[in-house]
Amino acid sequence: MGGVPHHLIGIIGPEADFTIADFYEKTLHATTCILDWGNLSIIVGGSNRFIEALVDNETLRFRNKYDSCILGVHVSLSVLKTYIYEHVDQMVQSGLVDEVYGILSLDGDYSKGIRRSIGVPKLDAYFRSKAAGCEDKERLVKLFKEGEGL
């Protein structure tokens, strides 16, 4: 983090349904504090939906109210998908499967919280088979590869 204070990292639990309104409220608070300290608020990362809500939403009017630098990336969907698939592959190689398996709940809702993260819903059949005690290694490998699109 290079000695630069970061905000809104690790502020919600894996079960939380963090909405655009929640993001706006937390961003508003952090931005106000940063500006009160005499610094420039730099907003980077997060879901494109969240960033677009700050920039484009006429009701929120964040862009008109606050002096902030908002960094985002606009790419075509086909290019974005390529990068997402590569990113998921890197996350799997870095331990995504074990990390997600650690928070797995068989009655989990893949429309809320951390379970809707990139790569997680696609591996649902693999996670559920593993959690159910499947010992058929060949089947687990097949489900994993199907989930990864390999």
Lowest mean pLDDT: which of 9-13, 38-42, 94-98? 94-98
- Higher-confidence residue of 98 and 90: namely 90
- In this prediction, residue 150 carries a pLDDT of 47
| 33-80: pLDDT as tens digits | 999 999 999 988 767 778 888 888 777 788 888 888 888 777 788 888
Instruction: Looking at the structure, tell me whether residues 59 and 120 fall in a common domain.
Output: no
3-state helix, strand, coil in the chain (%, to 5): 55, 5, 40
Instruction: Looking at the structure, tell me whether residues 85 and 50 fall in a common domain.
Output: no
| Residue 9 included in any domain | no
Instruction: Looking at the structure, tell me whether residues 61 and 114 fall in a common domain.
Output: no
| β partners of residue 70 | 43
| Residue 24 included in any domain | yes
> The domain that contains 143 carries what CATH number?
1.10.287.890
Domain residues for the domain of 64 are 20-71
CA-based end-to-end distance of the chain: 34
Spatial contact of 62 and 54, defined as CB atoms under 8 Å apart: yes
Q: How confident is the model at residue 110 (pLDDT cuts 50, 70, 90)?
A: low
Longest Cα–Cα distance of the chain, Å, equals 60
| Residue 101 included in any domain | yes
What is the tally of structural domains in the chain?
A: 2
Tell me the pTM: 0.59
Choose the final residue of a domain: 47, 71, 95: 71
